[in-house]
Amino acid sequence: MNLRRTTTTRRALAAVAITTGLVFSVAGCGGGDDKGDAAPKTSSATKSDASDKPKETQSADADQTLAEVKNNGITLAVTSAKRDQGGYLTVSGTVTNGTSGIWLATEWKSDESELQGNAASVAGASIVDQAGKKRYLVLRDTQGRCLCTKFQGGIDPGKSSDWFAQFPAPPEGTTSVQLQIPTMPPAQLDITEGD
């Protein structure tokens, strides 16, 4: 009888310890005001052997940000729009989840049937050359995988993740394009020449 009571007591104490640890973890992750004055502080994600979850990063510095758009608690910052010599335009930056739940990027997928297998990605992004009146869609490989970030496992609340999307480069004379991602306002970008 004493053995049974001891086992039950140990289980109860273990449950209390785990619950207390979880409460402190949640309390440590929350807080801050929603004024948008400062980017949320994030820590590096721990690597797991079998996880394809995106690497969490520090938010982009204001001096490096080419454009920033927000909608429904999600902030998309663009830190680079480089044209390379291979005829591609690579746009990259960070996305920050300011919501209270895991963000899965399902609304950013493409409506194209060829890209339907790219859920939770930036496959629905496009750039618009307003001067040339032409729209460029995300590039894809021969198996229909977009040349863009896939947010496997989503982004936790208050965390940021790097992202990129690669497009055909507009003509050499085009120095500015508009980035369009479903559910987000358009972002005007100046193109820089890559290496």
Q: pLDDT digit string (tens) for 135-170? A: 999 999 988 888 999 888 899 999 999 999 999 999
Residue 161's pLDDT is what? 95
Domain membership of residue 91 (yes or no) is yes
**Residue ranges making up the domain that contains 112:** 62-193
Residues with Cβ within 8 Å of residue 174, at least 6 apart in sequence: 129, 131, 132, 191
DSSP SS3 for 75: strand
Give residue 76's pLDDT band: very low, low, confident or very high (50, 70, 90): very high
CATH code for the domain in which residue 100 is found: 2.60.40
Domain membership of residue 33 (yes or no) is no
Domain membership of residue 118 (yes or no) is yes
Domain membership of residue 102 (yes or no) is yes
Cα–Cα separations (whole angstroms), residue 152 to 22, 102, 104, 113, 130:
24, 11, 8, 20, 33
pLDDT in tens, 37-46: 444 333 333 3
Domain membership of residue 96 (yes or no) is yes
User: Mean pLDDT throughout 27-47?
Assistant: 41
* 134 bridge partner residues: 129
Residue 7 has pLDDT above 50, yes or no: yes
Domain membership of residue 155 (yes or no) is yes
Give residue 35's pLDDT band: very low, low, confident or very high (50, 70, 90): very low
- The count of domains in the chain is 1
pLDDT in tens, 105-142: 888 877 776 666 677 888 889 999 999 999 999 999 98
